[in-house]
Structure 1
């Protein structure tokens, strides 16, 4: 199993000033560039440490939010492509349905792949609904734009005989000729985050690796099984390396220390969904049936009911405790033995997976605590992951 360290690079100093929304409408006067610079450097230092610890690196991006100060996922990737030498680098990822220039995406990923000497993994994301307003895009066109951009990016990376033109529904180019071409041939591995069996089947049909988050004990098995079935149906090779699961992980020398670290990391889950209601489900983003079903769940909004306990009880992410997160399969926390036992139980429950996306930093967890968390995981848990599935 491969492990990837993930942090949203939160700008938490602004959180005490925020109430009903941590996204979209918050004024950037709350961002202090001097404080922000210190935070960027500490997050980059933590990722760079992973090269010594044998933990791969994952970045992502969000926009107009204090929950994630990484608004361009390829910028930290570019820094880390030069600073690191061994681990692989995953951006999960690039919201290509909201980007106006897919060719620029192909150029960025290709150049990163060359600089890193073939260590890049490309993530393409459709994006959460509250990314629509900052991107100024039409939510009804998002899926169509996403798949056309996907096809165009891969064609641009695999066309080596000079320019071609592209006349699609959403994108038009007279001359496409990407320099440099990527190091990995025909192109770097492609990932997509998914949250439903339907999206998993779309990815399986194209041979993409899927990553799931906040799907937990209840929702993950059906998503992974849908991928396996569709891969078999279309004749795609199926290995555990096609499946990735993200968990919030706190490891300590004592159970109390590990759970305390996990509790601080859980502030990611407690804050990331706080957004003004008008941005939760813009018209056209989801199908009418999906929107109606979501509204019926607990009488809540579009994303209500996404996090559930093992017995199917909805959990409020804003108030979720460490014990609830462990029960739901969203967090593995405690001593190294605790974390391994929890991880093995989840692994067996979902039928196995090949990648663990480890949120080893989140919320107010300090640099020193993050370094200790990552180091203890690499020393005491990582060597045992080969036992999974035995």
Structure 2
């Protein structure tokens, strides 16, 4: 099992001043640049310690929010690729659907892979709904943009003999020939996140590492869909390295103390998603399948107190 040191690089001092939204329209006057600098240095110091201890590193990217000051994962990766020595550097995720220029993304990621001497792992994600307005995009075409950008980046990283042209619905390029090419061949390992079975099956066919976040009882059918796609592509059963799960865990000597700490841990995901309703789910961002899944999950949480926040889960729920 692999373990990653992860922080969203938040600015916690703005939490109690959000007035209904921690994302998109939270005034940046609530941020003190001097204190933000101290926080950034603290986060990098923690990552350097993780590197010294043999723990891998995971970062992410979000925009216009106090929950994550990492507005560009490329800057963080560039710094980490030079100040760390051993840790694998995973970005989960890189919202390539929001990027206007996937060629620039391919060049930057390849450069980071070279500087880090082959320690980069690329986690491509569609992004979160509240950042669609920030990117000035139509949410209906978000999924299309994601897969076009994905296909282009992979082709750019694996084409070495001559330039190529690219034409698709959202991106058009002439004479693509990235320098430098990636350190890892044919390209750095690819991850992606999902909570839906159709996407899980597609990720399985591609053989990527699939990550889920807090899917709880719904995790097993998602993993089964991945296995189905993986084996239909002509492979054997996927190993554990193809599955990643970000859960919230509290460890203590007694159940009472674990519950107390667990409530503090859960306070972060409960509050970090505070955003004004118009930004929560733009029409067309999610598929009908995903909207149904989310509505069913909400109904289940409302009906089952255990699902709503308890940090004690039956062991059988995680036999995946």
TM-score, structure 2 length as denominator? 0.92
Report how far residue 135 of structure 1 moved: 1.0
Describe the SS at the equivalent of 1:211.
Answer: strand
Report how far residue 162 of structure 1 moved: 3.0
- Within 5 A, what are the aligned runs for 1:308-387? 308=301, 315-316=307-308, 320=309, 324-327=310-313, 345=315, 349-351=318-320
Summarize the Cα distance change of 1:307–1:119 in structure 2 as closer, same or farther, 3 Å threshold: farther
Aligned to 2:231: 232
Summarize the Cα distance change of 1:280–1:201 in structure 2 as closer, same or farther, 3 Å threshold: same
In 2, Cα distance between equivalents of 1:112 and 1:233:
33
In 1, Cα distance between equivalents of 2:214 and 2:108:
29
Deviations 1:369-389 (A, max 9, x none): xxxxxxxxxxxxxxxxxxxxx
The answer (yes or no) to whether the contact 1:93–1:123 under 8 Å persists in 2 is: yes
Report how far residue 55 of structure 1 moved: 1.4
1:177 pairs with 2:177: yes
Aligned to 1:284: 284
Report how far residue 270 of structure 1 moved: 1.6
Summarize the Cα distance change of 1:150–1:290 in structure 2 as closer, same or farther, 3 Å threshold: closer
The answer (yes or no) to whether the contact 2:58–2:89 under 8 Å persists in 1 is: yes
Aligned to 1:111: 111
Report how far residue 109 of structure 1 moved: 1.1
TM-score, structure 1 length as denominator? 0.76
Report how far residue 203 of structure 1 moved: 0.7
Describe the SS at the equivalent of 2:92.
Answer: strand
In 2, Cα distance between equivalents of 1:253 and 1:22:
34
Aligned to 2:220: 221
Summarize the Cα distance change of 1:262–1:73 in structure 2 as closer, same or farther, 3 Å threshold: farther
In 1, Cα distance between equivalents of 2:128 and 2:25:
16
Summarize the Cα distance change of 1:289–1:194 in structure 2 as closer, same or farther, 3 Å threshold: closer
The answer (yes or no) to whether the contact 1:74–1:91 under 8 Å persists in 2 is: no
Describe the SS at the equivalent of 1:90.
Answer: strand
The answer (yes or no) to whether the contact 2:262–2:311 under 8 Å persists in 1 is: no
In 2, Cα distance between equivalents of 1:154 and 1:43:
31
Structure 1 vs Structure 2 CA RMSD: 2.4
The answer (yes or no) to whether the contact 1:201–1:230 under 8 Å persists in 2 is: yes
In 2, Cα distance between equivalents of 1:250 and 1:149:
38
Describe the SS at the equivalent of 1:121.
Answer: strand
Aligned to 2:18: 18
Summarize the Cα distance change of 1:207–1:327 in structure 2 as closer, same or farther, 3 Å threshold: same
Report how far residue 79 of structure 1 moved: 1.2
Summarize the Cα distance change of 1:147–1:314 in structure 2 as closer, same or farther, 3 Å threshold: farther
Describe the SS at the equivalent of 2:98.
Answer: coil
Report how far residue 265 of structure 1 moved: 3.2
Aligned to 2:188: 188
Report how far residue 254 of structure 1 moved: 7.0
Query: When the two structures are aligned, how many residues end up with a matched partner?
Result: 319
- Within 5 A, what are the aligned runs for 1:154-165? 154-165=154-165
In 2, Cα distance between equivalents of 1:278 and 1:141:
18
- Within 5 A, what are the aligned runs for 1:92-171? 92-171=92-171
Report how far residue 325 of structure 1 moved: 2.7
The answer (yes or no) to whether the contact 1:215–1:307 under 8 Å persists in 2 is: no
Summarize the Cα distance change of 1:23–1:281 in structure 2 as closer, same or farther, 3 Å threshold: same
Describe the SS at the equivalent of 2:311.
Answer: helix
Summarize the Cα distance change of 1:260–1:81 in structure 2 as closer, same or farther, 3 Å threshold: farther
Describe the SS at the equivalent of 1:212.
Answer: strand
Report how far residue 70 of structure 1 moved: 1.1
In 2, Cα distance between equivalents of 1:37 and 1:81:
20
Deviations 1:184-236 (A, max 9, x none): 000000000111111111111111111110102x1111111111111111213
